[in-house]
């Protein structure tokens, strides 16, 4: 069957430039797919992705679930006989794909390179300054006991941030649907809405247990060092730390608006304890990831701008959050209010720009997991149970000489 | 061999000799070529026997004939030629001098057995100590006093000093009817004069224990291709029955893992040139031996250069022999614990295969014996351990690069011709 291939060399160059310079060394042996603890009999990766990138088949590679099913354990890079760095290629593909599916596209470009950083931080700064000017709070800091709501009233924060984050969520949902649609068209075939709905529980269980990260270390092919042994525990810390902070914030909002229980809440309050503990766990996870990225850079593959951007913004958000609390309790008025301002700017960056940063993996990875869970549910039960063992008998002759 | 005239013979006597380092097929071929041209040759061999790796092979590809056949003819030529001398259990410690006038210092390990040995085996009957059978890649054991294999040349026992308690035991000395055992033998140093040197140090199999994802060392039924030759050989550890090392069951299915540690920057960066053909050969004899057996060969590229392609085509006409493009990169035990499961991506259809088999043969490559060192006073080997030539020093066979036996013999003869030329040029002054 004839097939017209339209190579997109710009795409290949872009991936090469995203710290995956060795991908052209690949000689398609499939070691990577065989050592991968996560790839399945029906959708082995990353060998075919290496070929697709080398051939410049952009749409095909970006419409496969595999790029997000990969959890970057880097076994493939450790065992690759050619040093082609498949794990780095998969990371670069995720990086690229965030921009590819970004809506609007210019936001994807803006978050993809450091030159727009000033503008991106400038937007929430100007927004908050306008708000402060409107409230007449630019002349001086509020006097008396430090209550952040006296500086920037919670209601305004809720309104502005809810609107902005709502827009971001809509954009993320749109992007996620585009990716899902691309998988439906090109990946392993169409799955119906009912099938997707049926896969939700399995997907959520995988997400809440962070099972894929666990399998990365549990199903290792051998003893070779990958420099990614920390990934499961450190990502558990990030996941539950962040989730704890989301629950904290939601609880505070409910407390304020439903029960009129105004801030600041005492330190012994269970919600406050949850918030502080979650923040600490989050920072610990970030510290491990940052340290390993720096320490193992030469051996574990390089980190890109977008890797560091998310780590840094998350860390600064958490740290300024703690700084707000500490300076408030210490009564340092001159420091506490400006720190709160900075904290709000960072929160804006983190939550409003999330569809365009690495944070968007919560959408894309979930979509890929949902889609492949729906595909997996289709397999005859017997096949799924024995996970393969088909005889290697189809290619019973020499390849065409 | 044409007889030399008396005058020519007298002139040849004045020529310095040639030292051949290594007594495998390359060394023996080079030595015979030079000796039959009338030059004195000394072979220096590290093992207690001559024949090297070829002595361990069960069959040659592509003819599937027994390698010992040709080796025996060569050893007969060697026995009949007074110009060839050889040292076994000897290694070259140092080389000095120039072409035409080398000094080669040997270190001789004590054999503890002298020339009176008739290989009657009275010693092994009383020997209480055992050692891993090195000739059979540690599949099975021998006594500390042993004959390397039943066709060994010289047909003389040797004692493994690492396993023997020597004078503390000495039961073999009492048992030997020929007074052939001398436990007082000491290491010796010998210096030879040489006009030229042929380096035919050959190769060792890659250490499969380093292939941590391929189960070697941890899974009993994962063996190397060289071990497979011993398993099939009539004088091997199982008497030629191809059975699973773990439980002695006949092998009904085998997976051949090509490029096991070859063309791999984590292991050997190069292709060893023979492993694809060796696996094809082994698949053939497995299926011949057992009419129900199956063989699955997993490869990156099947390398069957030149007319070996016809051999490959013949092999694949057997429908019980299958080749799948896709490298095996994971081996485990199946749930029942009996069979091995090899995993590879079948490249043609982009599916992950899991195939249960009785035996896995790792097609491991060749590591030049000079890797990790070289010989003092000789040109240093390259980063992979292969030897390039120096003035008056000529590498032959697998010391120079991975080769099959036929090419090795040609290469050895060429090296012998160059050595002879050097000696003649030096003698002319």
Q: What is the pLDDT of residues A27-60, one digit of tens each?
A: 999 999 999 999 999 999 999 999 999 999 999 9
Domain limit, last residue, from A57, A74, A101: A101
Same structural domain, B396 and B261: no
Same structural domain, B150 and B71: no
Same structural domain, B75 and B61: yes
Same structural domain, A321 and A181: yes
Whether cis (ω within 30° of 0) applies to the bond prior to A264 is: yes
pLDDT score at B429:
73
pLDDT score at A62:
96
**Domain contains B164:** yes
pLDDT score at B6:
44
Same structural domain, B250 and B297: yes
Rounded distance between C-alpha atoms, residue A230 and residue B410, angstroms: 55
Same structural domain, A128 and A81: no
**Domain contains A1:** no
Q: Helices (H) and strands (E) in chain A — how many of each?
A: 21, 0
Q: Are B331 and B219 in contact (CB under 8 A)?
A: yes
Question: Residue B389's domain is classified under what CATH number?
Answer: 3.50.50.60
Contact flag B265-A35 (C-beta cutoff 8 Å): no
ipTM: 0.92
**Domain contains A382:** no
Same structural domain, A35 and A156: no
**Domain contains A59:** yes
Contact flag A40-B352 (C-beta cutoff 8 Å): yes
Ranges of residues in chain B whose predicted pLDDT is under 70: 1-14, 337
**Domain contains B29:** yes
Rounded distance between C-alpha atoms, residue A176 and residue A371, angstroms: 11
Same structural domain, B275 and B126: no
pLDDT score at A186:
84
Same structural domain, B153 and B101: no
B189 membership: H or E segment, kind and range = strand B188-194
pLDDT score at B427:
85
DSSP for B99-130 reads TTEEEEEEEE---SB-TT-----HHHHH---E
Contact flag B329-A35 (C-beta cutoff 8 Å): yes
CB pairs under 8 A between A and B: 121
Among the partner-chain residues B211, B267, B300, the one whose CB lies closest to the CB of A29 is B300
Same structural domain, A347 and A257: yes
Q: Are B183 and B4 in contact (CB under 8 A)?
A: no
Same structural domain, A124 and A42: no
Rounded distance between C-alpha atoms, residue B88 and residue B42, angstroms: 11
Contact flag B212-A82 (C-beta cutoff 8 Å): no
Whether cis (ω within 30° of 0) applies to the bond prior to B62 is: yes
**Domain contains A247:** yes
Q: pLDDT tens digits, residue range A219-278?
A: 999 999 999 999 999 999 999 999 999 999 999 989 988 898 887 889 999 999 999 999
Q: ∠ CA(A91), CA(A305), CA(A63), 5° rounding?
A: 35
Same structural domain, A60 and A185: no
Q: What is the DSSP letter of B376?
A: B
**Domain contains A24:** yes
Contact flag A389-B266 (C-beta cutoff 8 Å): no
Rounded distance between C-alpha atoms, residue B395 and residue B369, angstroms: 12
Among the partner-chain residues B263, B313, B346, the one whose CB lies closest to the CB of A398 is B313
Same structural domain, B96 and B224: no
Q: pLDDT tens digits, residue range B34-85?
A: 999 999 999 999 999 999 999 999 999 999 999 999 999 999 999 999 999 9
Domain limit, last residue, from A101, A119, A137: A101
Cα B12 to Cα B15, B17, B248, distances in angstroms: 5, 10, 57
B23 membership: H or E segment, kind and range = none
Same structural domain, B131 and B99: no
Same structural domain, A218 and A69: no
Domain limit, last residue, from A53, A75, A101: A101
Same structural domain, A131 and A91: no
CB contacts, 8 Å: A222 with chain B:
211-214, 330
**Domain contains B181:** no
Domains in chain A: how many in total? 2
Q: pLDDT tens digits, residue range A333-374?
A: 999 999 999 999 999 999 999 999 999 999 999 999 999 999
Q: Are B216 and B224 in contact (CB under 8 A)?
A: yes
| A223: closest chain B residue by CA | B212
Same structural domain, B291 and B339: yes
Enclosing domain of residue B166: 122-175
Q: What's the predicted TM-score (pTM) here?
A: 0.92
Q: Does A385 touch chain B (CB under 8 A)?
A: no
Same structural domain, A173 and A231: yes
**Domain contains A289:** yes
- Read off the pLDDT of each residue in A47-75 and give the average, rounded to a whole number: 96
Q: Which residues contact B388 (CB under 8 A, 6 or more apart)?
A: B379, B381, B382, B395, B400
User: What average pLDDT does chain A have?
Assistant: 91
Same structural domain, B240 and B359: yes
Q: Are A120 and A110 in contact (CB under 8 A)?
A: yes
User: HSE on the CB side for A86, CA within 13 Å?
Assistant: 35
**Domain contains B344:** yes
Same structural domain, A36 and A171: no
pLDDT score at B218:
86
Same structural domain, B225 and B359: yes
- Residue B84: what are its φ and ψ, rounded to 5°? -100, 125
Enclosing domain of residue A54: 9-101
Same structural domain, A133 and A282: yes
pLDDT bin (cut points 50, 70, 90) of residue A394 is very low
Can you read off the two tokens belonging to residue A281?
Answer: 């766990």
| A79: closest chain B residue by CA | B266
pLDDT score at A382:
45
- Read off the pLDDT of each residue in A9-16 and give the average, rounded to a whole number: 95
Q: What is the DSSP letter of B62?
A: T
Residue A400 has pLDDT above 70, yes or no: no
Same structural domain, B160 and B219: no
Rounded distance between C-alpha atoms, residue A370 and residue A241, angstroms: 23
Q: Are B228 and B289 in contact (CB under 8 A)?
A: no
Q: What is the DSSP letter of B243?
A: B
pLDDT bin (cut points 50, 70, 90) of residue A396 is very low
Domains in chain B: how many in total? 3
Rounded distance between C-alpha atoms, residue A41 and residue B343, angstroms: 10
Can you read off the two tokens belonging to residue B411?
Answer: 């290469």
| B343: closest chain A residue by CA | A34
pLDDT score at A381:
57
pLDDT score at B239:
95
Same structural domain, A164 and A41: no
């Amino acid at each position: 069957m004839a097939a017209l291939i339209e190579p997109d060399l710009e795409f290949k160059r872009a991936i090469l430039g995203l710290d995956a310079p060795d991908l052209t060394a690949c000689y398609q042996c499939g070691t990577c797919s065989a050592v991968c603890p996560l790839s399945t009999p029906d959708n082995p990766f990353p060998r075919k992705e290496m070929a697709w990138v080398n051939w410049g088949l952009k749409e095909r590679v970006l419409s496969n679930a595999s790029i997000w099913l990969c959890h970057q354990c880097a076994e493939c890079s450790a065992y690759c006989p050619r040093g082609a760095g498949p794990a780095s290629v998969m990371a670069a593909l995720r990086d690229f794909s965030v921009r590819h599916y970004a809506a609007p596209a210019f936001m994807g470009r803006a978050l993809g390179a450091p030159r727009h950083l000033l503008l991106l931080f400038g937007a929430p700064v100007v927004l908050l300054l306008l708000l402060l000017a409107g409230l007449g709070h630019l002349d001086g800091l509020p006097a008396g006991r430090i209550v952040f709501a006296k500086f920037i009233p919670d209601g305004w924060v809720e309104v502005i941030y809810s609107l902005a984050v709502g827009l971001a969520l809509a954009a993320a949902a749109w992007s996620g649907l585009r990716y899902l649609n691309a998988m439906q068209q090109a990946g392993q075939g169409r799955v119906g809405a009912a099938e997707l709905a049926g896969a939700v529980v399995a997907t959520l269980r995988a997400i809440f247990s962070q099972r894929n990260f666990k399998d990365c270390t549990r199903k290792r092919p051998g003893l070779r060092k990958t420099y990614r042994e920390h990934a499961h525990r450190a990502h558990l810390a990030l996941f539950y730390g962040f989730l704890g902070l989301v629950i904290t914030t939601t609880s505070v909002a409910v407390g304020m608006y439903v029960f009129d229980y105004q801030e600041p809440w005492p330190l012994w309050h269970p919600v406050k304890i949850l918030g502080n503990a979650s923040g600490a766990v989050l920072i610990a996870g970030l510290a491990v990831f940052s340290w390993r990225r720096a320490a193992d850079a030469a051996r574990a593959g390089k980190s890109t701008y977008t890797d560091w951007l998310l780590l840094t913004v998350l860390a600064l958000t958490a740290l300024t959050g703690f700084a707000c609390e500490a300076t408030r309790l210490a009564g340092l008025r001159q420091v506490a209010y400006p720190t709160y301002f900075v904290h709000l700017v960072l929160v804006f960056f983190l939550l409003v720009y999330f569809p365009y940063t690495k944070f968007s993996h919560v959408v894309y990875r979930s979509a890929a997991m949902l889609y492949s869970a729906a595909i997996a549910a289709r397999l005859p039960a017997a096949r799924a149970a024995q996970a393969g063992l088909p005889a290697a008998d189809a290619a019973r002759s020499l390849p065409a000489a | 061999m044409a007889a030399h005239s008396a005058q020519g013979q007298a002139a040849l006597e004045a020529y310095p000799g040639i030292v051949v380092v290594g007594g495998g097929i390359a060394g023996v071929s080079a030595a015979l070529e030079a000796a039959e041209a009338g030059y004195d040759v000394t072979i220096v061999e590290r093992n207690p026997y001559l024949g090297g790796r070829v002595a361990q092979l069960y069959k040659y590809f592509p003819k599937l004939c027994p390698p010992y056949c040709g080796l025996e003819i060569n050893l007969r030529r060697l026995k009949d030629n007074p110009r060839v001398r050889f040292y076994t259990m000897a290694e070259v410690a140092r080389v000095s001098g120039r072409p035409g006038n080398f000094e080669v210092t040997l270190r001789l390990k004590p054999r503890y057995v002298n020339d009176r040995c008739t290989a009657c085996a009275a010693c092994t009957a009383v020997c209480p100590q055992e050692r891993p059978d090195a000739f059979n890649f540690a599949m099975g054991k021998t006594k500390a006093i042993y004959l390397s294999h039943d066709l060994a040349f010289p047909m003389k026992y040797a004692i493994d000093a690492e396993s023997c308690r020597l004078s503390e035991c000495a039961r073999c000395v009492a048992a030997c009817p020929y007074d052939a055992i001398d436990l007082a033998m000491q290491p010796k140093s010998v210096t030879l004069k040489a006009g030229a040197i042929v380096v035919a140090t050959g190769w060792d199999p890659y250490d499969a224990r380093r292939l941590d994802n391929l189960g070697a060392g941890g899974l009993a039924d994962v063996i190397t291709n060289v071990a497979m030759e011993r398993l099939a050989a009539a004088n091997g550890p199982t008497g030629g029955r191809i059975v699973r090392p773990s439980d002695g069951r006949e092998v009904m299915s085998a997976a051949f893992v090509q490029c096991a540690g070859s063309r791999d920057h984590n292991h050997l960066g190069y292709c060893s040139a023979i492993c694809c053909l060796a696996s094809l050969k082994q698949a053939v004899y497995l299926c011949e031996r057992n009419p129900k057996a199956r063989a699955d060969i997993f490869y990156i590229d099947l390398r069957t250069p030149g007319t070996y392609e016809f051999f490959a085509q013949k092999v694949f006409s057997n429908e019980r022999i299958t080749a799948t493009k896709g490298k095996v990169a994971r081996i485990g035990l199946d749930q029942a614990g009996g069979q091995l499961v090899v995993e590879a991506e079948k490249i043609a259809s982009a599916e992950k295969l899991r195939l249960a088999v009785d035996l896995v043969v790792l097609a491991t490559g060749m590591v030049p014996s000079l890797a990790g060192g070289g010989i003092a006073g000789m040109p240093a080997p390259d980063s992979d351990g292969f030897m390039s030539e120096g003035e008056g020093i000529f590498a032959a066979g697998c010391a120079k690069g991975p080769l099959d036996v036929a090419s090795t013999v040609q290469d050895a003869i060429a090296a012998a011709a160059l050595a002879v030329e050097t000696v003649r040029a030096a003698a002319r002054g």
